[in-house]
Chain A
């Protein structure tokens, strides 16, 4: 699951520290279990929600993990998980993508202020908590925006994008033709983008 850093094998903090120390001594392959453990939460809760594009998110994830391996010697163990450090690298990479594409100056500027607030290591106990907090924060922002939409638009988004029902099923639920449902969803996403941008000036879809 994307938001669960420890889904399969529960790596103890001591084990993580041992792997980091081993990698810092030159055995970079020791990073493998750490990368495998944190790739999914980095992708699902840090990178993709800030980019909105799966292909770009995968590239950023790859770059993030490579940078982590290359710079592992610079990492200082502070008795906490390495996850906040990885997350910080990921956010910097996302910021670079937005800056390079110049898609959203507002977003890039906003993220500069967002980084220290969300990645303060002292405010987080472990990777699990960080990922959960981040997921909740994203969801709260999305839900608040959804509440501002007209009922039919909100329903269209919930049915198609969250419940992932087919267009036919969505149209049936709303009692409209598929063509009309397509228009409803199209307008709903446009309305969502407008409200979301106006409210927080955050997200991957600022003014171009």
Chain B
């Protein structure tokens, strides 16, 4: 069944004297209220497609007769937005117009902050480096904690000694020697803590 809404755009328009149906009366009143709001500059964002089409007709008629003008504030905003958009900057808010000269300065602000932060960080690192005793010349061995040698990582050369060519294939015995030595060091340490790991 075709409704009044279906016919709004495509159906025949009755003569002025034709009695309106209740549906047409309701639709006419709704449209009249939309026109009211539009004339007051408060066009509602949501409406039916048919109402929107008819409202556009009304707006075109008004615009052609010079009844619709761009408010100075909206004009300024459009110009500012266009300049900001073209220059790759973001306006602070819809309401506040930011002079473009200040906007250009703002464009560099993040880089200035980043540069200053980098300089401060570099200066702090340099200061720490300079205040460390013997910085750059310290002997790593000298800074090791004083522990028995058997507790430390060390070369096995002294333990194994030079390997003769005819004993080159006897690696397992050398590994056993090294393992026994390290196990001995581990036991010593373990016993020094009363058997606790």
Residues of A within 8 A of B (CB): 1-3, 28-29, 31-32, 35-36, 39-40, 43-44, 48-49, 51-55, 58, 61-62, 64-66, 68-70, 135, 138-139, 141-142, 150, 152-153, 157, 160-162, 164, 167, 179, 181-187, 189-194, 196, 203-205, 207-208
Contacts across chains A and B counted by CB atoms under 8 Å: 184
Of B54-62, B142-150, B158-166, B180-188, the segment with at least 4 beta carbons within 8 Å of chain A is B54-62
Q: Does B124 contact A (CB under 8 A)?
A: no
Cross-chain contact B101 with A189 (CB below 8 angstroms): no
Q: Within 8 Å of chain A (Cβ to Cβ): is B49?
A: yes
Q: Please tell me if the beta carbons of A161 and B56 are within 8 angstroms of each other in the complex.
A: no
Q: Which of A1, A150, A183, A203 contacts B28 (CB 8 A)?
A: A183
- Chain B residues near A161 (CB-CB < 8 A): 35, 58, 61-62, 65, 67
Minimum CB–CB distance for A61 against chain B, Å:
5
Q: How far is the CA of A196 from the CA of B85 in the complex (A)?
A: 37
Q: B130 at interface (Cβ–Cβ under 8 A)? A: no
- B87's contact among A28, A43, A52, A162, by CB below 8 Å, is which? A28
In angstroms, how far is the closest chain A Cβ from the Cβ of B156? 72
- Choose among A51, A68, A185 the residue that contacts B56 (Cβ–Cβ < 8 A): A51
Contact of A139 among B36, B64, B76 (CB under 8 A): B64
Complex CA–CA separation, A113 to B48 (angstroms): 31
Looking at chain A's contact residues, is the secondary structure mostly helix, strand, loop, or mixed?
helix
B69 lies within 8 A of A2 (CB): yes
Q: How far is the CB of B147 from chain A (nearest CB, A)?
A: 69
> Contact at B67–A61, with CB atoms within 8 Å?
no
With beta carbons under 8 angstroms apart, the residue of A54, A153, A162, A194 that contacts B16 is A153
In the complex, chain B residues whose CB is within 8 Å of the CB of A153: 16
Chain A minimum-CB-distance residue to B56: A52
Residues of A within 8 A of B36 (CB): 167
Interface residues contributed by chain B, number (CB under 8 Å): 54
**Minimum C-beta distance from B161 to chain A (A):** 79
Q: Can you list 17 A-B pairs, Cβ within 8 angstroms, ordered by A? A: A1-B69, A3-B66, A35-B83, A39-B75, A48-B68, A53-B52, A53-B55, A65-B81, A162-B65, A182-B29, A183-B28, A185-B28, A185-B32, A185-B35, A187-B28, A190-B8, A204-B60
Q: Within the complex, what minimum Cβ distance (angstroms) separates A117 from chain B?
A: 19
**Binary A-proximity of B63-100 (CB < 8 A = 1, otherwise 0):** 11111111000111011011101110000000000001
Residue of A nearest to B86 (CB): A69
Report the minimal beta-carbon distance from B65 to chain A, rounded to whole angstroms. 5
Q: Which 4 A-B pairs have the closest CB atoms?
A: A52-B56, A65-B82, A69-B86, A186-B28
Residue of A nearest to B43 (CB): A54
* B63/A48 in contact, CB under 8 A: yes
> B36 — nearest CB in chain A belongs to which residue?
A167
Query: Which of chain B's residues has its CB closest to A69's CB?
Result: B86
B58 and A189 contact, CB distance less than 8 A: yes
Most-contacted residue by chain A among B49, B55, B101 (CB, 10 A): B55
B116, CB-defined interface residue at 8 Å? no
- Among A55, A179, A205, chain B packs the most CB atoms within 10 A around the CB of A205
Q: Is the CB of A52 within 8 A of B55?
A: yes
Contact A142 B64 (CB under 8 A): yes
Which of B19-27, B107-115, B131-139, B167-175 forms contacts with chain A? B19-27
